[in-house]
Structure 1
Amino acid sequence: MSKTTSQELLSKFNMDEIMNCMHCGFCLPACPTYRETGLESHSPRGRIALMKGVATSQLSVDPEFEKNMYACLGCRACETACPAGVPYGSLVETAREVVEDNKKSEATPPFLRQLVFDKVFPYPERMQALGTALWAAQSAGLQTLANKTGLINILPRELAEMQQAVDKIASPRERKQREKVMKAEGKAALKIGMFTGCIMDVMFFETNQATARLLTKAGCEVVFVENQVCCGALHAHAGGKEGAVELAKRNMEAFERAGVDFVVNNAGGCGAALKEYHHWFHDDPEWKERAMAFVSKVRDANELLAELPPLTFSKPLNVRVTYQDSCHLAHGQGVRNQPRQLLRSIPGVELIEMTGADSCCGSAGIYNITNFDMSMQILDGKMEHVKETKARVIVTSNPGCLLQMKKGIMRAGLEGQMEAVHIMDLLARAL
């Protein structure tokens, strides 16, 4: 890259935040990739040292730097462990942004990246079309046939493996019949704008419906706000900050028009991004002010339900469960006690805490596709802790974690003995 472009890129780094890292090492035992590899370059403080080297022009933005930045899961457990409060999540996103901007200056972005981030995720109707295609394949038995005959192996190994954890997709008819507004049971205390998410509303449509039903039971009117789009988290995590910002603007405009009291979501990763929109506009005062107003209304579904009058459950479940924290819900949003509080409120539920419940399961957005072997290594370790609880149900609150835990059950040979369930679906079962 040219000297001019280099300075433009390097100015993206926040040197104050980088210099706040004291290299004390408290982050090391919290970091999944460091625990697995023992490599300093695969630890938060090691990656920050590399960022400092690049920001001060002592190191170049080369393939080795890129590899180390993308080996990170982005789980942000290091932020919880850090005594200095270093915002590692935003630092690694900046590093990836620098990597991607540097690559743009040298070559055209890969076709698959352009397809996913520019042509699919920003367009809800295209996401829905993909969902319909998958539903059709499942309904015709093509997915089962491909798995039984081995035809599925024409896909890359990562996709062939992970598709096994995908449950049946809601039909196009079910999705089209959804009410745009779900009335509260009794007098409405709050007007809730439901953030449906992109993948969530296609692959976990019923979970969104269950969340809305729970909120109506708690006295809320739920609006499925039109013209909302992907939260932008995947773009930001993959260095596509410009695309993430555009999606954030579209979401803020949509929910401003809806005039809701709260913006509620049920995906830990989405929620963390939504709550950090104001950080994406530090150099744009007008949009930052709008973002701060938007962020003040964002709540995770667990968070809001725990604040509202207790739900009345009529169906005891009589089951032992263990809870797997979503990294971005626990470390990114600080929501830990509320899901456990809700689980304990279900009649017949015995909640058993697993060792390292808030350590990453290895899903991390699309990490289980881009870094499959490391992801499975981390998952297998997680499943050892799950087995120790002797639980029948693994509960989590993020779609990526849910798919990962379903895959973990398969890898551990526990099919038929254990299931993975989103917390909103489990709560709905007890109503």
Structure 2
Amino acid sequence: MTSTLKKDRIAENFREKMDYDELLNCMRCGFCLPSCPTYIESGMDESQSPRGRIALMKAVVDGEIEPDDDVKRSLDLCLGCRACEPVCPSGVNYGHLLEQARDIIYQNKKKSVGEKVVRGVVFKQLFPHQDRMINAASLLGFYQRSGLQKVARYSGIMNFFPDTLRTMEKVLPTVPKRRSMKNRAEYMPAIGIQKKKVAFFSGCLMDTVFMKTNDATIKLLQYAGCEIVIPKTQNCCGALHGHSGEREKAKEMAKRNIEAFENIGADYIISNAGGCGAFLVDYNYLLKDDPVWSERALQFSKKIKDISSILVDLRFHKKEMKLENQIVTYQDSCHLKNGQKTFMEPRVLLESLQGIKYVEMKDAGRCCGSAGIYNIVESEMSMQILDYKMKQTKNTNAKTIVTANPGCLLQMQLGIEREGLTGKMQAVHIVDLLLEAYENANKTN
């Protein structure tokens, strides 16, 4: 249990730091309930709904309850998918409230030695430093290429890991060699007539483990008529920190990114990861109380645009693109849909592909259960949510599931493996599919 001293400190911080006006915006109408995956999967437990969690936060601020382990557990079990926000008639910014509450709890929570070490390594020593991310990814690549992966699988070593991690190890993409990750170009010209100058947010995991998808994104932008600048001094977006109670570190990383991009003169800053893009858009909120950075953050946030959105703006869906005959469905990235308000653009692009039949999945916008590292730390709930998603996916008879976020992509690949559908169904990032379709139709190498 949290000590009395810590409870008092947490309660005081709730009163000082929580946005009370935002808490009062919640009318307790319940429109959010049918949209909340944890409310549904918990058997309609009110404490696992957005309305219930806001009520708990307000009760702590009002001194009606203590910020005990039950409050923490309710907040921990939230996916942070923000599906409650578009359906809220009062426009409650639930995601902001959740981040505030988690930050207060985790900054005042008594941590075990192990937790301190893990959080220190992940949040301070690894993700803020892209060179270290490259080194870590290189080790994973060596594990995959050297034969160690086969040894680990056939020797039974993997049996010592939880089932979710064992399955995830099977579906990880092949990591590029260190040389490729280190030699990212900073400038690429448009192919054909230049229509826009854009800066590309390459990300941390996206430019290491998912570097192939970043390369595809750059090619698509070039084909669409974009001149591209990729600042070397950019770093991780800070979403993992912001969602996990490390807001001060997230602010540091936001400032570094703003500095990296603000003097490029780009029309837009392009992201290809729904989770990253939504957090980049929120920099203006993250730094709103900073007199030096608030305006700079606002100007930065205004330029963020998802790859699917700029492709539609530039009418890329009018180009000839072709795939082999198949059924394709789409799984929304929660943060792309609910955070960046980008919903129709991916569908417009997919429906323009020759050779495919697009079938809309039931509840395509419901969270897949990935949610950053949620599928690792809250595996049971995550797998419940994934099981529902896979049921809806199978009902479409799709060969290909398309998504727009690396976490969603891994989660759907995890679902395919769990369902025994490997080889019959595939999950792909939308830019990889679009590039294949464009180059198939245009015979481009």
Q: Name the TM-score class by shorter chain.
A: over 0.9
Indicate conservation of the 8 Å contact 1:9/1:101, yes or no: no
- Deviating more after overlay: 175-184 vs 399-408: 175-184
Aligned to 1:208: 214
Aligned to 2:353: 346
Match of residue 19, structure 1, among 15, 19, 24 = 24
Residue 10 of structure 1 aligns to which amino acid in structure 2?
A: R
Q: Distance in 2 between matches of 1:67 and 1:203?
A: 31
Local SS of the residue matching 2:316: coil
Residue 354 of structure 2 aligns to which amino acid in structure 1?
A: P
Match of residue 29, structure 1, among 21, 34, 53 = 34
Q: Distance in 1 between matches of 2:164 and 2:304?
A: 34
Taking only aligned residues, the RMSD between alpha carbons, in angstroms, comes to: 1.8
Indicate conservation of the 8 Å contact 1:103/1:109, yes or no: no
Instruction: From the superposition, tell whether residues 180 and 280 of structure 1 become closer, same or farther in structure 2 (CA, over 3 Å).
Output: same
Aligned to 1:393: 400
- Deviating more after overlay: 303-312 vs 70-79: 303-312
- Deviating more after overlay: 312-321 vs 129-138: 312-321
- 1:256-275 equivalent positions in 2, closer than 5 A: 256-275=262-281
Q: CA deviation at 1:145?
A: 2.4
Q: Distance in 2 between matches of 1:108 and 1:368?
A: 20
Aligned to 1:360: 367
Indicate conservation of the 8 Å contact 1:317/1:346, yes or no: no
Q: Distance in 1 between matches of 2:182 and 2:127?
A: 20
Aligned to 1:221: 227
Residue 424 of structure 2 aligns to which amino acid in structure 1?
A: Q
Local SS of the residue matching 1:318: strand
Aligned to 1:243: 249
Local SS of the residue matching 2:193: coil
**Structure 2 residue 70 is the aligned partner of structure 1 residue 64:** yes
- 1:302-313 equivalent positions in 2, closer than 5 A: 302-310=308-316, 312-313=319-320
Structure 1 gap ranges (5+): none
Q: Distance in 2 between matches of 1:177 and 1:239?
A: 33
- Percent identity between the aligned chains? 48
**Structure 2 residue 187 is the aligned partner of structure 1 residue 181:** yes
Residue 410 of structure 1 aligns to which amino acid in structure 2?
A: E
Give the length in aligned residue pairs. Answer: 431
Instruction: From the superposition, tell whether residues 153 and 394 of structure 1 become closer, same or farther in structure 2 (CA, over 3 Å).
Output: same
- Deviating more after overlay: 399-408 vs 31-40: 31-40
Q: CA deviation at 1:315?
A: 3.8
Aligned to 1:404: 411
The CA deviation string for residues 335-359 of structure 1, in whole angstroms up to 9 with x for no partner, is 0100000111221121100100000
- Deviating more after overlay: 294-303 vs 54-63: 54-63
What is the TM-score normalised by the length of structure 2?
0.93
- Deviating more after overlay: 103-112 vs 6-15: 103-112
Q: CA deviation at 1:5?
A: 7.0
Match of residue 376, structure 1, among 383, 397, 400 = 383
Local SS of the residue matching 1:316: strand
Q: Distance in 2 between matches of 1:201 and 1:10?
A: 40
Indicate conservation of the 8 Å contact 1:269/1:328, yes or no: yes
Q: Distance in 1 between matches of 2:86 and 2:348?
A: 21
Q: Distance in 2 between matches of 1:330 and 1:5?
A: 33
Indicate conservation of the 8 Å contact 1:210/1:424, yes or no: yes
Q: CA deviation at 1:179?
A: 2.6
Indicate conservation of the 8 Å contact 1:235/1:243, yes or no: yes
Aligned to 2:94: 88
Structure 2 gap ranges (5+): 439-445
Aligned to 2:291: 285
Q: CA deviation at 1:57?
A: 2.1
Aligned to 2:443: none
Indicate conservation of the 8 Å contact 2:11/2:60, yes or no: no
**Structure 2 residue 202 is the aligned partner of structure 1 residue 196:** yes
The CA deviation string for residues 224-259 of structure 1, in whole angstroms up to 9 with x for no partner, is 211111101110100111011000000000001333
Indicate conservation of the 8 Å contact 2:210/2:406, yes or no: yes
Q: CA deviation at 1:103?
A: 1.4
